[in-house]
Amino acid sequence: MGMALEKPKLFPEKKTFIWFSLALLVLIAIRLIFSYLEYQEFITKPFYYTEATVLTSYEKSKNNKRYKVIKLRSNESFTFYTTTHRKENFNHKHLRLQLFPNKSIAFEDYLGTFYVKSKIKYQEKIPLTFKDTLLQKVAAQHEVSALKSFYNAIFFATPLDRKLREKISMLGVSHLVALSGFHLTILWGLVYGFLLLLYRPLQQKFFPYRHALFDVGLIAMMLLGSYLWFVDFPPSLVRSYAMVLFGWIVLLLGMELLSFTFLATILLLLVVLFPSLLVSLSFQLSAAGVFYIFLLLQYTKEMKAWIITLLIIPLGIFMLMLPVVHGTFAVTSTYQLASPILSILFIPFYPLSMLMHAIGVGGVFDSVLMWLFALPEESKESILPLWLVLFYLGLSIGAIWSKKIFYGVCGIAILYMIYLFMFI
């Protein structure tokens, strides 16, 4: 019996990959230089006029004085926060503002989201869109505001209620609420699978010469791309969509898909297109999560598929990501140990909850969710120093080439998990 032919690699030689990566890094540097020149021009102006759409608006108080925090996206495509003591509702508004930038705005903040003082010059109400109508229809199926916020977050990438965000962080399931590759993978499976069911009988009868992966995949990619646009391009979802798109192309070409060169290429290309992703925490965590999935698959590919899907990936990602996540987020609760189980349960829950909302009975899981959100009552704080996180990430990269280092990384992650949940 002959040996199965290996699929050709994305880059036949390491030298090709290195030169291609260097070319992309040069392009990134050029993009950053131009962004820095724009930034310098911005912060040296005494004032700056812009028009912007309100993304979120909420009240805060300081020294017994109440004020509003507003997050906006300008027509020039930068995102910023500002504050005002005006009492009107700014949701669904388009504002003309006079901004007062200064050198306290760092370059990395300018690339991402920054705070700037402003004066509102003019405002106009934005007509309700189709998305607003859907948000209202979803919200109308729930009595509790936390659940309205939860479902609109997982369906449409809207900001989560602050109190609920704390509870979800204590449960260790923030990755399930912020739209990411996890959601897109579920949606891809559903859309592609459903379209394939419709396509197969037609293919067999009318066009047996057509390639299902190309035809069905193209329609699925267009539908997912429309969804990405509809939810306003969250960074982690942009990374995920690029990976699915590029992965689909690689499969069509019959090349090796699960490789670290594939992952590195996608990440570099995305940063070339969107330099702001460099400072996006959701993008960084999302990329780290996919890296550890690839790492786990590399050393467990001989195992049965169901073991990898239901045990290795959920448990492995939870443990391996703990040191990375705790480099930024300090919240620690024993309920976070339930994260792998909740991640598995979310796979059927996500499409089922969509269906329930589509037929008007979205509140069917409300009592279970309210019980779940009420579980964590207190948490502890534990942050990992940056140098330890960088050391851990360096070892993780080394694990690509060494099984011993991989076992060492797993050992460190397990020991850190024991320390975090038993001794903190």
Q: Residue 101: give its domain's CATH number.
A: 2.40.50
CA atoms within 13 Å, Cβ hemisphere of 273: 10
What pTM, to 2 d.p., does this model score? Answer: 0.87
CA 153 to chain centre: 12
**Same domain, yes or no: 54 and 112:** yes
- For residue 86, being part of any structural domain is answered with yes
Question: Does 349 map to a domain?
Answer: no
Domain count, the chain: 2
Number of neighbouring beta carbons within 10 Å of residue 32: 16
Clarify whether residues 185 and 270 are in a common domain.
yes
**CB-based contact 264:306 (threshold 8 Å):** no
Question: Amino acid identity, residue 156?
Answer: F
Name the token pair of 303.
């195992």
> Are residue 182 and residue 261 in the same domain, yes or no?
yes
pLDDT of residue 6: 63
**Domain-embedded: residue 415:** no
CB 55 within 8 A of CB 96: no
Instruction: Give residue 211's pLDDT.
Output: 85
150 belongs to a structural domain: no
410 domain-assigned: no
Distance CA 375, CA 366 (A): 14
Nearest by Cα to 309 from 336, 344, 337, 279: 344
Range of the domain at 229: 176-275
Mark which of 275, 299, 329 sits at the end of a domain: 275
Q: Both 180 and 263 in a single domain?
A: yes
Decide if 74 is inside a domain: yes
How many angstroms separate the CA atoms of 408 and 405, rounded? Answer: 5
Instruction: Tell which residue, 252, 390, 276, 225, has the closest CA to residue 324.
Output: 390
Residue 240 confidence (pLDDT): 85
Could you tell me if residue 384 is inside a domain?
A: no
Q: Which of the listed residues 243, 275, 307 is the one where a domain comes to its end?
A: 275
Residue 106 backbone phi and psi in degrees, to 5: -75, 160
Which residues have C-beta within 8 Å of that of residue 292, sequence separation ≥ 6? Answer: 316, 317, 320, 321, 396
Instruction: List per-residue pLDDT tens for the chain, 424 residues long.
Output: 344 456 677 787 889 999 999 999 999 999 999 999 999 999 998 998 999 988 888 888 877 788 889 999 898 888 899 999 888 888 888 899 999 998 899 999 999 899 999 999 988 988 888 888 999 999 999 999 999 999 999 999 888 888 888 899 999 888 888 888 889 989 999 999 999 999 999 888 888 888 888 999 999 999 999 999 998 888 778 878 888 888 888 888 877 777 899 889 989 998 998 898 899 888 899 899 999 999 999 999 888 888 888 889 999 999 999 999 999 988 899 999 999 999 999 999 999 999 999 999 999 999 999 999 998 888 888 899 999 999 999 999 999 999 999 999 999 999 999 999 887 6
Q: Which two tokens stand for residue 184?
A: 């897109």
Please tell me whether residues 184 and 269 are part of one structural domain: yes
DSSP 3-state of 139: helix
The reply to whether 362 falls in a domain is no
pLDDT recorded at residue 377: 82
Q: Which of 241, 275, 309 is the last residue of a domain?
A: 275
**Same domain (yes/no): 118, 183:** no
What's the confidence (pLDDT) of residue 234?
Answer: 83
Shared domain for 180 and 119, answered yes or no, is: no
Tell me the C-alpha to C-alpha distance, in Å, between residue 384 and each of 270, 316, 332, 380, 412.
Answer: 28, 19, 12, 13, 13
State how far the Cα of 42 lies from the Cα of 102, in Å rounded to an integer. Answer: 8
- Tell me, what's the pLDDT at 392? 97
Whole-number Å distance between alpha carbons of 405 and 231: 40
Residues 185 and 266 in one domain: yes
